Structures are given as structure tokens and as C-alpha cells.
Chains A and B, each alone.
Chain A
Amino acid sequence: MSNAATLKSSSITPEKLKSMLYDMMVIRNFEETLKKLYQQGKIHGTMHLCIGQEATAVGACVPLTKEDKITSTHRGHGHSIAKGTDVMKMMAELLGKETGTCKGKGGSMHIADLDVGNLGANGIVCAGLPLGTGAALTSKMKNLGYVVLCFFGDGATNEGAFHESLNLASVWKLPVIFFCENNLYGMSGSIKEMTNIENIAERGAAYGIPSETISGNDILTVVEAVERAVERARNGEGPTLIEAHTYRWEGHSRSDARKYRTREEEKDWKKHRDPIALFKQKLIEENILTEEEYGEMEKKVQTLMDNAVEFAVNSKAPDLDTLMTDIYA
């Protein structure tokens, strides 16, 4: 596992480094806020939180331009925020309001924002891979120059569509990055029980795709790996498979009692591998950030979230006559 990304080797400006930390803080606060709203009965249905996985979401999107595209998963709030989807509209969507990203018709699992290259979260495990492969085909056929990054979890790598998509993208040399957030569990299924190989990245070799396993909780490592993959894609060298190890702090969804893993394991990841704490520490050590500045950022994030909740709560529910609109173009 390559793990040695340092600020010295990074060409990222201090301002950008701080904005990366800020985006991670926004994601965590967004998810924490949703937890509270859920407990207050303000959120309908369920949701899948990505607390603990902020470095993969933000890090993978840093090398992408607005024209580049992502496909996301059921655990997709972080991906959407990282790609630039408006947090106010996302909050309104979670509350099912007409001002939401999808007019209240999609909810947590279907947030999409085509204007910023977000081709959508997805309620079907692995479904983003064939779709992303198709979006990459458009880029190639129309010579548009954009790349597509597909987020998916470890569980998705046992779907047929994973294998078919990697093969197809490889034989057509498509500009796509397959980015696996290996958070060790597909719902309750431990990756150790569900696959018989050490690293998911090994699967890339079967399709002639360069692959690597990295620490997904060190954002600079994530950025560097995706930069390499983006460069390959833009140069017409085809897809890359990246496996980023990370951990979701919460259960799979709201109904999960987490009987399949230990509290010790959770504590260990939270205490020693919190991606936000690690990055903050690094920025402070390298004199890029002060505790004071961090405190200011926390306040700014909280204000943003308070405004988002206020906007969402005060927004109107969709009219009932929108039930039958947007079905056909």
C-alpha cells in the first residue's frame, strides 16, 4: 500500500489545501446534521452516511475539472458535495422539498447534478460503473476530453457489472477511473468473507488495467493516485482501478445495529485514522493552518449548514401535480 504522500511533494497551493479540509468538514457536518434531522423525524425513509470516508470523496474529486464526471453510490452525499453540488439544494432534497436537487423526487439515493458532472447517486450496487463507462464513451466518440470517475464500494466488486465494465472500458481504452472505496463491509458482509483475495486492486490485472491499493483516509495519497489515473485517461491510455481503504463510522443505514463488527475496531479507526483529524494535523504541522483558522472554518461550516436546514425546512413540498411530470422527455 503506497501511503507516503507529503505536502512537500504536493503541488497544491495552501489555499487549495485548506479548501480541501473545508470540503471534508462540510461533508461531515452535513451527515451529522442529517442524523439529527432523522432523529427528529424530519427525514423520510433511510439514508447511508459517509462519515469517516471524507478523504476519498474530496480527494478523488480534487484532480477533476467541472467538465469531468462522476458516478456515485447509495452512500453518495460526500461525492456530490465534493463534485460541487449545492449543499442547500441537497438538504432540501433530503427533506423532500421542491427546491431540492431533484425536486424532491429522488431523495438520498438519487441525488444527481448533471450541470457539475454528477451523473447521480444510485440505489443499485455497481450500477454506476456501466453508466460511467458509457459517459466515457461519449467523451471519446465526441472528443470532449473529459474523464469519468466511478465511485463504488467493495461490495460492488462482486457484481457481474463490475467485471463486465472493467473489461469493456479496457478493450475500448475509455477515459474512466474505477475508484473503489473499500470500507471493509458491504452492508454486513465483511470483504474477507466475500472475496478470496487480499486486495481488490488485484482484479484489475485480469482486465489489463493498471491498479493500486492506497490508504483512503490520507487525502493527499488519494489525490496523487487519482492524478496519475486522470493523466492516463486524458492521454488515451485507458482506465485505472484504484482501491482506497477507508471505514464508515456509522452503520450501513439507519436500521443497522452493527452486530457484524466490534466496537474496538470502530474506535481504532475513529481514533487513529480519522481523515479530517489526520489532514488537519498535517496542515498545522506544516504551518499551513492554525487552530484559530480551523475554529473559524468550523463556524463557517456550521453557518452554512444552519442556512441549509433553514432553507430546506422553509421550502415548499412539491405540488401533487408534479407526480406525473418528468417521466418522459
Chain B
Amino acid sequence: MREITYSEAIREAMSQEMRNNQDVFIMGEDIGVYGGAFGLTNGMIEEFGPERVRITPISEAAISGCAVGAAMTGMRPILEIQFSDFIMIAMDNIVNQAAKNRYMFGGKAKVPVVVRLPGGSGAGFAAQHSQSLEAWMTHVPGLKVVQPSNAYDAKGLMKAAIKDDNPVLFYEHKMLYPVKGEVPEEEYEIPLGKADIKKSGTDISIVATGIMVNRAMEAAAELENEGINVEVIDPRTLVPLDTETILESVKKTSRVLVVYEAVKRGGYGAEIASMIAESDAFDYLDAPIRRLGGVAAPIPYNPELEKAAVPQVNDIIKECRKLMNK
């Protein structure tokens, strides 16, 4: 099959939806001839023109509210926030407006907006350009939160996000942008709320999110040589969460490791771990639920410090050995 990058897959999903539906458009900073900070919108202004590929001033408070207001009145905007860290400046419109309008108005409004958020560490951008704050968004009723780990999922999830009538926060990992994967050209959607078993196994269930899915897969290959058979589950969307797929896996393997890049304390992995602990799968556990997450420090600049701040393949391997008492 054809291989394209994660960023090409996202662009293809957006372009297909923009061809299918005139109400879909994209707005954001430097997304015109510049192509966006990560080149993701390269070529889009040439195809769709400046009305539908709207370059905005550096005004996150206005452009986020503008996207929400446009969504409430019949458009289906995609808002590119240049780095996910900048969402703090747009927070009121996401949390107080987009998430709550439908409920506050007694079910009358719908807010079909997709907010694209390049996140994660590893690129040397330091503390204000490398965070993973998706857990904040999962806490807010009314929002959906998506976190694709590969090109195929990114395309299908983006198409589903654009078609969804709710605000969807779409967390892209900037280190995954150049990573290639098999992606069919034809149109397909991956429903929000459907996890994927990336590798089946019998000894340990690793529930990993975002780029940690890729690291868990590397760790799983390594552990295979030691006779440890790991199952890797990618929830793909954090809200709604496919609890069923996770719990079935836990019941099968009896051991679970949750891996996420965000600061471990208060991260979404804590929610996944609690969900498992509160369920009937608890009785199947042969070991305490383990979590691996980022350290409680801002993301540092120095490359070695930066790596040490978030889980790496070796950390996952070590944690799995511990779980197997090896």
C-alpha cells in the first residue's frame, strides 16, 4: 500500500473533507503560503484559496472564539493552534463557550469545530512549546479529545472529527509528523471512541497514548526476545474512551501498564488506571496497576534532560520486567 507521513495523512483528511463540504474550512496563524509552522497545510491555500484557508492575526483569544461562533452558526471550522501550548490563550472559548453552549442553551446549539493541537516533546523546543496537556481537556464535559499515534489513524480520526457535531480537540504529536505509514487514498473514517489493539499478547496489557504507542511497540518487540508477550492498546480517543477493549485485554493478561507522555501526576493515564481499578477487571489482576508518565518538571531544553523527562523505550521495558518479576 501507499506510504505517506502522519502530517500528509492529516492534510489529506482535511483536503478531502474540504472538497466534500463547502462549510469546512481551516483557519490559523501562518497556514497560507508558509504552510503552517510544521508545513502541514502546504499547498492548501493554492487549492482552496484564502477564503477557506484563512490566515489569522496572532490572536488566539479572538480566533478561537471566532471559530466557535462560526461553528454555532453553520460552518465547520478547523482551527490550527500553532503549538498546543498556546491553547491557554484560547482556553475561555474552548472551556467556557464551545464545551458548554449546547448544555447551557438547553440542547439548541451545536458546535462542530476541530481544534488541531501540535503537542509533545522531543524537538528541543523547551518548556513552552513541548507540553502534553490533553488531560486538562478530558476533564471538561462537552469536549471530545483525540490523540492519534500513526498516519493511518490520523487520517481516519481527522475525518471523523470534522464530521462530528461537537468540539473535538485533536492532539497531534510533532515528532510523529514525518513518520510514514500505510494510508489508503480512498476515504475512510475511524469512529471516535474505538480503541485499537496494535499488537496482541498474553502477559501484560500496555495501554499507551500518542507517541507512547510507538515506544510501547518497540519495547514489545524487545520483550518478545525475553519471552514476555505484551499486548499494546491504543485508545486513540481519550474522550470518549473505549473502556470495553481495555478491560477485555486486562482480563486476558492480568497485568497492566499505562504509559503516557504527560506529567504522570494528574495525567489521563491516572483516569485509565482508576477506571480499571474500579471495574470487575480488578479481580483478574495479578499485580498492581502500574503507570509510566512524565516527570513533574517543565520540559527542559538540553536533549538528554528532555529525554529523561518523559518515558522512553527502556523505561517501558524495565517496567514490564518488574511486572513479570523478572
Contact = CB atoms under 8 A, between A and B. Distances in A.
Interface of A: 69, 71, 100-106, 110, 112-114, 119-120, 122-124, 127, 129-139, 141-142, 160-161, 164-165, 167-168, 171-172, 325-329
5 contacts: A112-B109, A131-B65, A134-B71, A160-B61, A327-B103
B178 interface: no
B142 interface: yes
A168 B66 contact: yes
A205 B141 CA distance: 40
A328 B166 contact: yes
B204 interface: no
Contact of A134 (B23, B65, B165, B166): B65
Contacts of B142: 327-328
Contacts of B51: 141
A167 B66 CA distance: 12
B106 A134 contact: no
A135 B69 contact: yes
Given A137-B75, A164-B57, A171-B57, A106 B66 contact: no
B65 A112 contact: no
A100 B104 CA distance: 11
B306 to A, nearest CB: 31
Given A130-B93, A131-B72, A168-B56, A103 B66 contact: no
Contact of A141 (B25, B141, B165): B25
B65 A102 contact: no
Nearest to B100: A110
B73 A105 contact: no
Nearest to B55: A171
Given A133-B66, A141-B25, A329-B111, 19 more contacts: A104-B106, A106-B104, A113-B108, A114-B72, A127-B65, A130-B64, A130-B68, A131-B72, A134-B73, A137-B69, A137-B75, A138-B75, A161-B61, A161-B92, A164-B61, A165-B66, A168-B63, A326-B102, A326-B107
Given A131-B69, A134-B66, A164-B62, A102 B105 contact: yes
A106 B69 contact: no
Contacts of B62: 129-130, 133, 161, 164-165, 167-168
A236 B150 CA distance: 44
Interface in B25-82: 25, 51-52, 54, 56-57, 59, 61-75, 77
Interface in B257-292: none
A101 B108 CA distance: 10
B105 A168 contact: no
B109 to A, nearest CB: 6
B256 to A, nearest CB: 28
Going nearest first, the 3 A-B pairs with the smallest beta carbon separation are A130-B65, A134-B69, A164-B62
B57 A106 contact: no
A141 B76 CA distance: 12
Max chain A C-beta neighbours (<10 A), residue from B61, B72, B144? B61
Contacts of A139: 73
B97 interface: yes
B20 interface: no
A105 B66 contact: no
A130 B66 contact: yes
Nearest to A71: B69
Nearest to A174: B66
Nearest to B98: A131
B159 interface: no
Contacts of B255: none
B96 interface: yes
B57 A133 contact: no
Nearest to B75: A138
A141 B24 CA distance: 11
A131 B68 contact: yes
Nearest to B92: A124
Contact of A326 (B69, B103, B112): B103
B52 to A, nearest CB: 8
